Amino acid sequence: MVSQAVRSGKTGEKKYNNPEQSNINQMKRSDVVENREENVCRMKRAPVPENCRTDIVLLGLNHKTAEVELRECLGFSKDEADDALQAFRDSPAIAEVVLLSTCNRVELLMAAHDADQAVATAKAYLSATKHLPVSQFEEALYVHTGDEAVRHIFRVAASLDSMVVGEPQILGQLKDAYYTATLRRTSGVVLNRLLHKTFFVAKRVRTETGIGDRAVSISYAATELGRKIFGTLEEKKVLLIGAGEMAELAVEHLIQHRAGDILVANRTFERGLEMAGRFNGQAVRFEEIPDCLRAVDIIISSTGSPDFILTKDQVRKVMRARKNRPLFFIDIAVPRDIDPAINRIANTYVYDIDDLRDVIEENIEDRNREALRAGRIIDEGVIRFRQWYDSLDVVPTIVALREKLWGIAETEIRKSLGHSLSHLSPEEGQAIRRMTTAMINKMLHDPTIFLKKNGCHSGKTAYLDATRKLFKLDDEEGVLL
């Protein structure tokens, strides 16, 4: 459970503070966080270690580890996210950073020379700006480094770590977070490559598995069933009876699929007029419902009536006038509004709340099976990213560059010795090879010295990445920088 300090009125004010209060250097509330000033100083004086290879670090919490009250307290508005990125950019402990903050998760993806120092810096910043002692949120945090951090961000983008597996919103949210980081210049060579690879992997999961194919919400399931019955929902007329959040969401989904006219019937006509205005539809009186059945194709009902709103006899009469055109009923009410006996009439389809839940549970099982296939795609992506990341060491890059140049030279030597220089003796051929080797060594001497000399320079990864791009030392697919 979240402590009382999290739920207190003082904590709840955090979203409305002046942005200046998010500047960690100005936080002086020692009554909230012990040793606050020491934590802040820790952000400023982190030294760069001798082994300056950056680690990929991910720190965060989500709906699985933290209750909504804590997620609200630690969440970031757009302005707060900008301030945070600027603070982390100014910290020597963190080389690169992307901040993802949604209703279900807050995550910091970092490239850092010292993973422990980066994590401590992030915790100190969260504590200072959110006015919470670290002890009140530390247990909810998870920390991943290296391959596990890469795997986690791949799973997040592919919606395998979402509350609803397969939901598409998280990928767009991650792209927005990355775009913000690029604008604030807090994402560099490593995270640029990682995020582009992340988007590529997420796209593969979407296109090569069925993880997002089946509905897992009541309103969306109703829409998908309608598409199966009619083939297309375009220009299908809809009658909404009553009110209710799920019913209204179902209407919105139908509108998104280009449904036709929307009729709204409510026991209170004024309420019906109000709802019809929201959907750009037409209000009808409750007594007109049976007549409306002649023209509409889809009926969504959600009232508080203890009795059926529509009976089998009413619908049977209408079907004759409709010439047996299909009629689809979505009954979201409890008790039910639609007589289930209507299902016995040809070309009528009645789905109540339990039917829709059964569809959802079956679809969730299907998504979980597809998640196994998605996991294999993610594992492959992690391996490929690791291969690229390891290549950022100086020695593999120099070896790859030398092998590429010598491979080109050897191909040309063989071609020449087999044709225009075929008259040369084997000894003369070897002399040409020795001369070529000497030339390659001399050409690579200065670049090699430069890369080794700058092995711990702050721009090391940029130099190595540029070298690999200039000479096309990588052949990894799908990553555009």
Q: Annotate 297-361 with DSSP letters as a single string.
A: SEEEEE---SS-SB-HHHHHHHHHHTTT--EEEEE--SS-SB-GGGGGSTTEEEEEHHHHHHHHH
Average pLDDT over residues 344-359: 88
Percentage of residues of the chain with pLDDT beyond 70: 85
Q: Do 222 and 278 reside in the same domain of the chain?
A: yes
Range of the domain at 311: 218-351
168 marked among binding-site residues? yes
- What's the predicted TM-score (pTM) here? 0.59
104 labelled ligand-binding: yes
pLDDT digits (tens, 9 = 90+) for 377-419: 999 999 999 988 887 777 777 888 888 888 898 898 888 888 8
247 is in an annotated binding site: yes
Average pLDDT over residues 89-97: 93
Confidence of residue 454 (pLDDT cuts 50, 70, 90): low
- pLDDT band with cut points at 50, 70 and 90 for residue 326: very high
The yes-or-no answer on residue 103 being catalytic is yes
List the structure tokens of 90. Answer: 């100014």
> Does the pLDDT at position 114 exceed 80?
yes
Domain count, the chain: 3
pLDDT score at 475: 63
214-249 pLDDT, tens per residue?
656 677 778 888 888 999 999 999 999 987 777 787
Sheet with 282-284, side-by-side order of all strands:
282-284, 262-265, 238-242, 298-302, 327-331, 348-352
Same domain, 222 and 149: no
Known binding residue 246? Answer is yes
Q: Is 381 annotated as a binding residue?
A: no
Take residue 28 and report the two structure tokens written for it.
């002086």
| Pair 204, 245 in one domain | no
pLDDT bracket for residue 37 (50, 70, 90):
very low
Among 208, 231, 264, give the residue marking a domain's end: 208
Do 83 and 199 sit in the same domain of this protein?
yes
The tens digit of pLDDT for each residue in 125-169 reads: 999 999 999 999 999 999 999 999 999 999 999 989 987 778 788
Check 41, 52, 103, 292 and give the catalytic one.
103
Q: How confident is the model at residue 27 (pLDDT cuts 50, 70, 90)?
A: very low
Residues 225 and 173 in one domain: no
Average pLDDT over residues 191-209: 94
* pLDDT(8) > 50: no
Average pLDDT over residues 426-449: 87
> In a 3-state reduction of DSSP, which class is residue 17?
coil
Q: At residue 308, does pLDDT exceed 80?
A: yes
pLDDT, position 34? 36
**How many of the other CB atoms lie within 10 Å of CB of 262?**
23
Which amino acid is present at 298?
I
Q: In this structure, are 169 and 293 located in the same domain?
A: no
Residues 164 and 224 in one domain: no
* One domain for residues 84 and 105: yes
Say if residue 173 is in the same domain as residue 70. yes
244 is in an annotated binding site: yes
**What's the rounded Cα separation, in Å, for the pair 192 and 90?**
19
Residues 62 and 162 in one domain: yes
> Cβ of 24: how many Cβ atoms within 10 Å?
23
Same domain, 67 and 177: yes
Domain identity same for 185 and 257: no
Residue 297 banded pLDDT, cuts 50, 70, 90: very high
> Which one of 189, 208, 227 terminates a domain?
208
- Has residue 406 been placed in a domain? yes
Q: The domain that contains 173 carries what CATH number?
A: 3.30.460.30
For residue 399, the model assigns a pLDDT of: 82
Structure tokens at 134: 């670290």
The whole-number average pLDDT for the span 261-275 is 91
